[in-house]
Structure 1
């Protein structure tokens, strides 16, 4: 009977560990997706800034000076 109780407790710990690992994996996946989204936003902002700089360089009088 003791062996059965120990087996049940150990099995429950395994389930707990697997659930925790799955949760940690899901959190990491979300972090990676958010990082990629942030990276894409920064890339778009940089591209826009570069285009604006090129436009200003092409037409220096456009700023009103």
Structure 2
């Protein structure tokens, strides 16, 4: 079965926490995010082009 082709997927893996290992004897669920296979490449920037000072090149 194919998964995470066009939409993201989240999987949870259960680990039984032992008191001897400092886990308080309770289960913990590890989340795993899977990006979609058909995700387009993007570049993120928190700045704006207007925030960038133009580089002055000597003539």
- Rg: which structure is higher? 1
TM above 0.5, yes or no, is no
Q: Kindly indicate whether structure 1 or structure 2 has the higher relative contact order, using CA contacts under 8 Å at least 6 residues apart.
A: 2
The structure carrying a bigger helix percent of its residues is 1
TM-score normalised by L of structure 2: 0.26
TM-score normalised by L of structure 1: 0.25
